[in-house]
Structure 1
Amino acid sequence: MLHETLPNGDARAADHHPLPNSETSYGLVARSLSEALGSFLLILAGLGVSILNPQGGMAPGLAFGIALIAAIIAFGHVSGGHFNPAITLGSAIAGRTRWVSVLPYVVAQVIGGLAAAGLFWLIFSSHPQQLQTTQLFSNVANGFADHSALQFPLSSAFLMEVTAAALLTAVVLAATGRLVNRTVAPFAIGLAYAALLTLLLPITNGSINPARSTAAAAFSEGWALEQLWLFWAAPLLGALIAGLTFRSVDFAGRGTDGKTEADDETVAVHDADGAPAPALPGSPAPARTAPIAPGVAEATAQRPAAARQDNDPARDDARDFFDSGTEAGDNSEDDAGTDNRPAKQG
């Protein structure tokens, strides 16, 4: 779940992504194919362990988690490594993924999952003992009420799937933030996925991923398709909640001029008298600056305002893209028209 970079050269948006410029380096077809391959690997390993080795040494939830780690490491540099329609939706709402990529990603994820389940169907159908293929898939399909391992009703299943999807999306968005070590993001995401699936196994047989639920339901008994709507609605709702939360927190950290709190830390440390400005409680000590000689200060004050403008091009490069970019130009034009030089004598 390493996110693709937004366009328009937004350096601040790129900081959120462990693999910047993935969207400009790879086309939409390549990225969608990467999502399909990652989903194929994830669902092949997860459903395979769940169907063929349910009482073995590895729990199904752990198998899904390990497969997700491997898929993110292998294909995340191309597409961002979602492999889950809920994660794609949450990432888009949070501003980490372009909306134009959402539908192709979701279609690719579902196709990858169906291909993995279809492969198992072919293998089971050709078995000499004529295995009950439909029943095998029904055992791992997601369900509630009579089809829940512990008979949990629809309301409980819905609530738990929403909560788990919101938590997983939050882990993805937080682990791929610009202030964390993103090299461990695949492991954080995969382990969180494994833990949440293990929690959901007795309630819904563990979904969180609509592509996984669709893949199992397509080859199961009729009840699985009838209850499939919940395993789309609940994860998408949970991702919506997490995405909106991260989006609101991101904008709450910006001032009215579009700058973040980190940008506001570079404030003046001297007041008009040249004395150090008082520090707020709990704030770091202000930087020490050398005093300005009186003659230099008077000469600076007498120069035209246009001459005092900072022409450093790095200032414009560091401007947040939420800024309108007009304030500096307007002020410079007004100041340039003001001549503070004394009138020429005689």
Structure 2
Amino acid sequence: MSDNDDNQVAKGLAELFGTFWLVFGGCGSAIFAAAFLAGPNGNLGIGFLGVALAFGLTVVTMAYAVGHISGGHFNPAVTLGAVVGGRLPARELPLYWGAQVVGGLLAGLALFVIAKGKPGFVAEGNMAANGFGEHSPGKYGVGSVLLVEVILTAFFIMVILGATDKRAPKGFAPLAIGLSLTLIHLISIPISNTSVNPARSTGVAFFNGAGAPGQLWLFWLAPLLGAAIGGVLYPLVFENGKLKLTTTK
């Protein structure tokens, strides 16, 4: 096996483990800790804020741990944004996407097995899946969910491309990216249960059931569309520190 092959394997494993950690930590906090009750009157749940922080922390920790190996995407939308923005060769996209989806599904399986250890647990509708309409936490329609996912993913990609720009302060990119993901969740958990990540959505959809697999198309389409927009906008507007658009006199 050549050094290049070794490098590709390392990148794939970094993305697999990073995506596993994101889904396991983020969705796990929603499944197990968001509304935890201790006794008849004790609420020890972490709520929306805690879940949002959990997702942000998964990205911060794994970006520092393996970001130097693969770039720390852990998200097919981020990989697409990196390709569109000129940060990653298009030929590497299948490797990243495959590793991310597998990592997400393994995390979903682990969460399902753990959750089933509680007597009376019903997986259907309780696996932190994304959804619209009746499957949205706030009952938001498909148009609202599509729009918020596109907007938030586009800005997420712009934050990532900006934080990893060679002109940006060194060593702070994982913090900026993790805090951005936290903010994204604070905005959109009530709307879509927050995806901005097709691997996160896929990882739990089939274990959740309750309409989630049938709605999964939106949580691929919207994040990928948002990623393409963000991947175009950042280089167009901010690369080289100035607008690339020119006017003629």
Scaled to the shorter chain, the TM-score interval is 0.7 to 0.9
Following TM superposition, the consecutive aligned residue runs of length 4 or more in structure 1 with deviations greater than 4 angstroms are: 23-26, 251-255
CA distance in 2, matches of 1:110, 1:215: 7
CA contact (8 A) 1:124 1:130 kept: no
CA contact (8 A) 1:72 1:186 kept: yes
Unaligned runs of 5+ in 2: 36-44, 245-249
CA contact (8 A) 1:26 1:78 kept: no
CA distance in 1, matches of 2:243, 2:34: 49
1:39 aligns with 2:10: no
Task: Tell me the residue number matched to 1:87.
Answer: 78
| Cα distance per residue 1:210-247 (max 9 Å; x no partner) | 11100110201241011111111000001100111123
CA distance in 2, matches of 1:42, 1:252: 32
Judging changes above 3 Å, is the alpha-carbon distance between structure 1 residues 254 and 65 closer, same or farther for their aligned structure 2 residues?
A: closer
Task: Tell me the residue number matched to 1:115.
Answer: 106
CA contact (8 A) 1:93 1:247 kept: no
Task: Tell me the residue number matched to 1:205.
Answer: 193
CA distance in 2, matches of 1:128, 1:64: 24
Judging changes above 3 Å, is the alpha-carbon distance between structure 1 residues 26 and 77 closer, same or farther for their aligned structure 2 residues?
A: farther
Task: Tell me the residue number matched to 1:142.
Answer: 130
Specify the code of the residue in structure 2 equivalent to 1:133.
Answer: A
SS of 1:218's equivalent?
A: helix
SS of 1:29's equivalent?
A: helix
Specify the code of the residue in structure 1 equivalent to 2:212.
Answer: A
CA distance in 2, matches of 1:73, 1:245: 26
CA contact (8 A) 1:36 1:108 kept: yes
Task: Tell me the residue number matched to 1:217.
Answer: 205
Task: Tell me the residue number matched to 2:31.
Answer: 51
1:30 aligns with 2:10: yes
CA distance in 2, matches of 1:128, 1:97: 43
TM-score, normalised relative to structure 2 = 0.87
| Cα distance per residue 1:68-102 (max 9 Å; x no partner) | 10010001011010001000000011110011111
More helix by share: 2
CA distance in 1, matches of 2:6, 2:73: 16
Judging changes above 3 Å, is the alpha-carbon distance between structure 1 residues 235 and 253 closer, same or farther for their aligned structure 2 residues?
A: same
Specify the code of the residue in structure 2 equivalent to 1:119.
Answer: A
SS of 2:73's equivalent?
A: coil
Specify the code of the residue in structure 2 equivalent to 1:131.
Answer: F
Aligned Cα root-mean-square deviation (Å): 2.1
1:196 aligns with 2:184: yes
Task: Tell me the residue number matched to 2:146.
Answer: 158
CA distance in 1, matches of 2:120, 2:173: 43
CA distance in 1, matches of 2:114, 2:139: 31
CA distance in 2, matches of 1:24, 1:247: 28
CA contact (8 A) 2:20 2:104 kept: yes
Cα displacement (A) at 1:134: 2.8
Cα displacement (A) at 1:248: 2.5
TM-score, normalised relative to structure 1 = 0.63
| Cα distance per residue 1:183-208 (max 9 Å; x no partner) | 11100000000111111011001111
CA distance in 2, matches of 1:110, 1:133: 20
Q: 1:173 aligns with which of 144, 157, 161?
A: 161
Task: Tell me the residue number matched to 1:6.
Answer: none
Task: Tell me the residue number matched to 2:39.
Answer: none
Specify the code of the residue in structure 2 equivalent to 1:40.
Answer: F
Unaligned runs of 5+ in 1: 1-22, 256-346
How many residues are matched? 230
Task: Tell me the residue number matched to 2:38.
Answer: none
What percent of counterpart residues are identical?
39
CA distance in 2, matches of 1:200, 1:254: 31
Cα displacement (A) at 1:152: 1.1
| Cα distance per residue 1:102-154 (max 9 Å; x no partner) | 111011011001111101222233x26242123421xx110111111222111
Specify the code of the residue in structure 2 equivalent to 1:224.
Answer: A
Structure possessing the higher relative contact order (Cα contacts under 8 Å, 6 or more residues apart)? 2
CA distance in 2, matches of 1:254, 1:167: 18
Q: 2:68 aligns with which of 77, 82, 85?
A: 77
CA contact (8 A) 1:94 1:247 kept: yes
CA distance in 1, matches of 2:101, 2:142: 24
CA distance in 2, matches of 1:130, 1:209: 30
CA distance in 2, matches of 1:237, 1:87: 11
1:230 aligns with 2:210: no
Task: Tell me the residue number matched to 1:105.
Answer: 96
Q: Looking at CA atoms only, which structure, 1 or 2, has the larger radius of gyration?
A: 1
